[in-house]
Amino acid sequence: MTDTGEEQGGAGRDGPWWWDRPRGAVLDVGLAAVSAVECAVEGVPFAREAGLPVPVGVLFGLLVGSTLVLRRRWPIAVVLVGIAVSPAAMGFLLGVVGLYTLAACEVPRRITATLASMSLVATLVVMYVRTSGDQGASQSLVIVLSVFVAVALTVPPVLLGLYIGARRRLMESLQERADSLERELSLLADRAEERAEWARTEERTRIAREMHDVVAHRVSLMVVHAAALEAVAAKDPERAAKNAALVGDMGRQALTELREMLGVLRAAESPKRVPAAAAAAAAVVPVAALVGGFEDGPGPSLAELEALVGQSRAAGMVVELDVRGAGPGYPAEVEQTAYRVVQEALTNCHKHAPGARVVVRLAHREGEVAMQVENGPCGADVVQPGLPSGGNGLVGMRERVLGLGGVFVSGPTDEGGFKVSAVLPRGPYEAVVRRVGWRPVRRRVRASSTAPPRYQSPVWSIP
């Protein structure tokens, strides 16, 4: 909108000089022309009364009326001109439009009140002087008529201008609020899209981690059994047949787990397109549910650790299982994460420490469960199985444990082996207590300058 309250269609200034729109310029020029004609006509009697030539009075009227074209640029000056020429009984349109413009624009209210009062007094005095000389007019009638004319020419334009100015400011405030709300909604939509993208990334990472854990362990055992089968096929047919049967069992188990995982993924797919609002709401999901890395439905548990260790023993690895305490029963995600940590640690032992002695420790504590897989050094004459490694095993274990609020530490031991330790809280309450009121202390053990730094696990202490 303009300063006087007229609606402005365009967002920018496309009018000449100080006008916002060409329509405003045309309106002001037209009002100025009408005011100039009025003042020129009223300049004829003014020139006669003042004893001036008529052309001078007409020219003076034209100049005074033409100042109305400046009402948007200098409204105070226009009102002062109208007050100044009021004794000459000219410029009524100039005064009315000037007062309206002054009240509608962003001029301080004290200035508006002062100029409106001056215009009211000037009009009252001029009307009283001009009507008091009429024959037969009573004094009270002259006063009433003068007050009426003065109020009629001053108060309505001011009130209308105040109303238009207040309405314009209200509309601008509402427009600003609408723009602010639109910006906030756009920001919220961007954040929701970022959260949705983050959720999709986390879900892809979780699926990749599950595929790695399921395939890597089974296939590693199959490779170990296949190598043993190749070595004893000619010397010990009975043992070769046993290894062949184990390879087949490992392959069938791997296929079964893959089939179950793919079935869960297909069941989770929706046949209908998810709306954008639902996708944004779905992005705000618990972090533990995304990065915990547990399967929907029945999955591996701590009760299956004995069978898991037995599979590694059948592959020729010397594995010792040490369980301390009684398990009170943990949430499914905790048991599945603990199982996957031990499974991946055993897989790494098959890859990087063939022939080494492995100890698997499991301790049930108050509010948490701790696990540790430690292998000794490999023999110098042990043949490496040549299993490929992508370097994602330790990363996946750490993500699983930290996603449930646990602690994960891995590193080489002083004896030349490797150790993986993890502690998982029983539930969300224990995870919060662990984050807020408990901090694990990592102690750095000095080693020789040529050996890599050793770290002592802060999460395992079985007496």
Distance CA 301, CA 252 (A): 20
What's the pLDDT score for residue 137?
A: 66
Backbone angles phi, psi at 223, to 5 degrees: -65, -40
What's the pLDDT score for residue 265?
A: 59
Distance CA 93, CA 38 (A): 8
Could you give the percent of the chain with pLDDT greater than 70?
71
CA angle at 23 for the pair 19 and 27, rounded to the nearest 5°? 85
Distance CA 257, CA 216 (A): 12
| Ranges in the chain annotated CATH 3.30.565.10 | 292-463
CA angle at 16 for the pair 11 and 17, rounded to the nearest 5°? 105
Tens of each residue's pLDDT in the chain, 463 residues: 444 444 444 445 565 677 777 787 888 888 889 988 988 888 888 888 888 888 888 898 899 888 888 888 888 999 898 888 888 888 888 888 999 999 988 888 899 899 999 989 988 888 888 777 666 667 788 888 888 988 988 899 999 999 998 998 999 999 999 999 999 999 999 999 899 888 888 877 777 777 766 666 667 777 776 776 666 666 777 777 777 777 777 777 776 776 666 665 555 554 444 444 444 444 433 333 333 444 444 578 888 889 889 888 887 789 999 999 887 778 888 998 999 899 888 888 888 888 889 999 999 988 899 999 999 888 766 666 655 566 667 888 888 899 888 999 999 998 889 999 999 998 764 554 455 454 444 444 444 434 434 434 444 443 3
Q: Scanning the structure block, which residue is given the tokens 């199985």? A: 385
Distance CA 320, CA 339 (A): 16
pTM strictly above 0.85:
no
Look up the CATH superfamily of 292-463. Histidine kinase-like ATPase, C-terminal domain (3.30.565.10)
**In terms of residues, how long is the chain?**
463
